[in-house]
């Protein structure tokens, strides 16, 4: 069995490696514009499935090959906050998230032989501290918000804005580990076959792989 990740995201690749299943990367480019009156739940699930199917079409769906697609979106007051178009758009999003809670929705889709699709969604509630305009301007200058949904990355410098969360930290990063692992287990993947043995030096406390 083979696994393909339909994403060029370094964060999703890093997280998928933690499940110790070997995979290849096939980036896809799809239209991420929400449809008219499309709810955030339907939007994020649709994009995850479309990404997986787009990569599947690129590779020609060889036998025993599964394709994993994922999408993450930030939602405030039922409004979808995608990737900012420019600095002003990023500042608008961050001011909207400042000092309050918002939702981060991450959907995962696994497409296999014969068009079989398994999918799931994880919703996480995130609370931001109050942001000063200086925070927002300095954060934009780092370049980090430019390609992030909601104009922030929790795993990077944007993590300093987060007071707490209720849900999955990894889902906010872009790939919920437990739920993704369950999809792969159902498809027949062995999640421990590629694990590296880790030993501890009892005298020094150093860990070596």
Cα atoms in the Cβ-side hemisphere of radius 13 Å centred on 71 = 28
Angle at 7 between CA 5 and CA 38, to 5 degrees: 110
Which of 29, 37, 71, 190 does the annotation list as catalytic?
Answer: 71
Can 135 be counted among the known catalytic residues?
no
Of 170, 47, 62, 168, residue with least CA distance to 109: 47
Measured CA to CA in angstroms, residue 37 lies from 22, 34, 49, 68, 80 at distances of 39, 8, 19, 27, 11
For residue 181, the cross-strand partners are: none
Annotated active-site positions, please? Answer: 71
């Amino acid at each position: 069995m083979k696994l393909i990740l339909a994403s060029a995201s370094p964060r999703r690749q890093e997280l998928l490696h933690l499940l110790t299943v070997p995979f290849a990367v096939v980036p896809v480019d799809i239209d991420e514009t929400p449809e008219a009156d499309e709810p955030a739940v339907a939007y994020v699930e649709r994009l995850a499935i479309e990404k997986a199917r787009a990569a599947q079409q690129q590779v020609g769906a060889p036998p025993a090959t599964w394709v994993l697609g994922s999408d993450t979106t930030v939602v405030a007051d039922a409004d979808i906050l995608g990737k900012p178009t420019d600095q002003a758009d990023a500042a608008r999003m961050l001011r909207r998230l400042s000092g309050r809670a918002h939702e981060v929705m991450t959907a995962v889709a696994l497409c296999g032989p014969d068009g079989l699709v398994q999918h799931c969604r994880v919703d996480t509630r995130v609370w931001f501290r109050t942001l000063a305009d200086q925070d927002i301007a300095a954060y934009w200058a780092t370049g980090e918000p430019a390609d992030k949904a909601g104009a922030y990355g929790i795993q990077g410098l944007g993590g300093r804005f987060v007071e707490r969360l209720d849900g999955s930290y990894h889902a906010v990063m872009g790939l919920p580990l437990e739920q993704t692992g369950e999809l792969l287990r159902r498809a027949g993947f062995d999640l421990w076959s590629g694990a590296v043995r880790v030993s501890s030096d009892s005298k020094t406390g150093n860990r070596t792989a």
